Amino acid sequence: MANLQDLTEAVIKGDEDKIKLTILELLNAGTPAKEIMDDGLIAGMNIVGGKMETEEMFIPEVLMSAKAMSAGVEILKPQLTDEENAASGTMILGTVQGDLHDIGKNLVKMLMEGAGFSVIDLGTDVPPAAFVDAIKEHNADIVAMSALLTTTMPKMKETMEAMENAGIRDQVKVLVGGAPVTENYADEIGADGYGYDAGSAVRIAKEYMTN
Ligand code: B1M
The per-residue pLDDT for range 41-63, each reduced to its tens digit, is: 999 999 999 999 999 999 999 99
CA of 149 to the centre of ligand 1 (A): 7
If you take atom 22 of ligand 1, which residue's CA is the nearest one? 149
How far lies 141's CA from each of 90, 91, 169, 198, in Å? 5, 6, 11, 18
Rounded mean pLDDT, 137-145: 97
If you take atom 87 of ligand 1, which residue's CA is the nearest one? 177
For the beta sheet containing 173-177, the strands, ordered from the edge strand earlier in sequence to the opposite edge, are 118-121, 90-95, 142-146, 173-177, 193-195
Tens digit of each residue's pLDDT (9 = 90 or more) over 81-106: 866 666 789 999 999 999 999 999 99
| Residue 193: pLDDT over 90 | yes
Which secondary structure element, helix H or strand E, spans residue 145, and what is its range?
A: strand 142-146
Q: Global pTM?
A: 0.95
CA of 140 to the centre of ligand 1 (A): 26
Identify the residue with better confidence: 83 or 139: 139
If you take atom 14 of ligand 1, which residue's CA is the nearest one? 149
| The pLDDT of residue 2 | 86
Query: What are the structural domains of the chain?
Result: 4-84 (1.10.1240.10), 87-210 (3.40.50.280)
- Alpha carbons 192 and 34: distance in angstroms, whole number: 26
